[in-house]
A and B are shown apart, each in its own frame.
Chain A
Amino acid sequence: MSRLEERYRRVLRLLPAGYRRQWEDDMVAAFLETMQTGDAETDEYLADHGRPSLAEVTSVLSLAARLRIGGPDAPPRPYAWGQAVRLAVLAGVLTQAVMATAGLGITLWLSGALSWLPAPTSEWTLVPPSSSWQATLTVAGYAWLPAFLALVLGHRRVAQAVAAIAVVPQGIAVAVEQVTGPVPLTVAPWAMLLVELLLVVAMSAFHRDAAAVARRPWLLALPVGILAVPVPLFVAQATTSALRLLDWPGLCCALVVAAMTVHLVVRAFRPPARTLPWSLALVLLATTALALRTATLPDIGGQVERTALLTVASVQIVAVLAVGVPLAVVAFRALRHLPPVSAAVEPQHTDP
């Protein structure tokens, strides 16, 4: 086996085992033929030193994503994972859109642009952005709203491009602010950025084979989400000082714990196969919230109220684990009960 073949077979390991059993040798043979130039010396050199091009690797990556994160035609397990990833991404993008829209609404209200609403009291004033980078970060964040709408309406590539508008300037703003700003380096902005990047990449789960998003409930979730979370939270944080201890990773933990609790109650009355995608989606979201909370713990050490903040963070971690672990156990048990995976349809000889 040449080094080139070894390298290509290594790339093919991205594909599910069942699929590889059917197609790997055929794919390798076709790939090696595409690499032949007709010149014996060059072919020999390529066999030793050649590598699959980025485009070839990307095509295998995209095939692996389609097979592992399946649509309705995929076997039950990849389909359950596919639905779970899509639900988790929708929930993540919805959260970004809700917070961005509410933030925009509150900014407009504080600046007096929403004259039909009661005027804010004197203690609620608009804090201007500390730097032009901070302003860029805020404005770029608003792009999550059109990104969410595009995703729900079935325009995945548009959603990814628009979300990139939110993420890329934010990445630059975070880097510049952390390097040149007066505040010490913190983990939180980087961790948030990583989560947002993950969301943009994971939007690829809405591929051609995936079923269309149920528009009505997800579109309805936007105003409901705004009224249910950021608006009361803003009012509560403005009036109750204890709630100021709730930071963004903490809020993610609180939201995911609430969602998992409701889900555990609901799934008790429904067949497990029907609730499985949401169970897995919530496990994915809980893992992300837990990682975000844990990664940002070092930031708390430098704060004045660190004892109170560390206590709150510990409670959040315990709460996510207390609800998330039982949910993960029942979800994976239900996943194992699904019929075995048969990732590919074997090509059959049909006699003429």
Chain B
Amino acid sequence: MTEPTFFVLTALLDGPRHGYGIVAEVADLSQGRVRLKIGSLYGALDRLVGGGLIELDREEAWQGRLRRYYRLTERGRHALDAEARRLAANARLASTRLRRQSPIEGTSA
């Protein structure tokens, strides 16, 4: 799972969002580090809909345009959970090794 896809799924965890809503939420979640371009966002949404990880929730009119809201499916929730566990395990592994190799600041060498 790519980082943008991971953030898109995470952005949909607390409720359905429309395209721009996802862009804004991902920017917030990643503290501005991941700024999705529209082509990349819809490339990811297309894959996620195709894979059954997200689905269309509803369409709403806004300023004369139709906004499509997407929501996470149960399958998407499981995929995100599995990816989050994998990333956490990797991070734990690295942290353990880092602690083992470098002395903790403030202790004598």
Q: Which residues of A contact B (CB under 8 A)?
A: 19, 23, 25-34, 55-56, 58-63, 66, 73, 208, 344-345, 347-350
Contacts and interface: CB of A to CB of B under 8 A. Distances in A.
Contact of A34 (B20, B43, B67): B20
Given A26-B68, A349-B55, 18 more contacts: A23-B45, A25-B66, A29-B62, A29-B67, A30-B23, A30-B38, A33-B19, A56-B39, A59-B43, A61-B39, A62-B43, A66-B43, A344-B50, A345-B46, A347-B55, A349-B56, A350-B55, A350-B73
A118 B50 CA distance: 61
Given A60-B39, A61-B39, A347-B70, A30 B18 contact: yes
B59 to A, nearest CB: 9
Contact of B46 (A58, A208, A344, A350): A344
B37 A56 contact: yes
Interface in B50-91: 50, 55-56, 58, 62, 65-68, 70, 73
A33 B45 CA distance: 17
Contact of B39 (A59, A208, A348): A59
Contacts of A58: 37, 39
B46 A60 contact: no
Given A26-B19, A66-B43, A345-B50, A31 B56 contact: no
22 contacts: A19-B46, A23-B45, A25-B66, A26-B19, A26-B42, A26-B66, A26-B67, A26-B68, A27-B39, A30-B23, A30-B42, A31-B38, A33-B20, A34-B20, A56-B39, A58-B37, A58-B39, A59-B37, A63-B42, A347-B68, A349-B58, A350-B56
A62 B55 contact: no
Chain B interface residue count: which class? 20 to 34
Contact of A62 (B18, B19, B39): B39
Judged by DSSP, the binding face of A is helix
A281 B82 CA distance: 40
A30 B56 contact: no
B56 A348 contact: yes
Contacts of A34: 20, 23, 38
B30 interface: no
Interface string B1-34: 0100000000000000011100100000000000
Nearest to A33: B20
Given A63-B42, A344-B46, A27 B19 contact: yes
B83 to A, nearest CB: 16
Contacts of A25: 65-66
A60 B41 CA distance: 10
A195 B46 CA distance: 33
A55 B70 contact: no
Given A29-B19, A30-B19, A59-B38, A23 B55 contact: no
A59 B40 contact: yes
B69 to A, nearest CB: 10
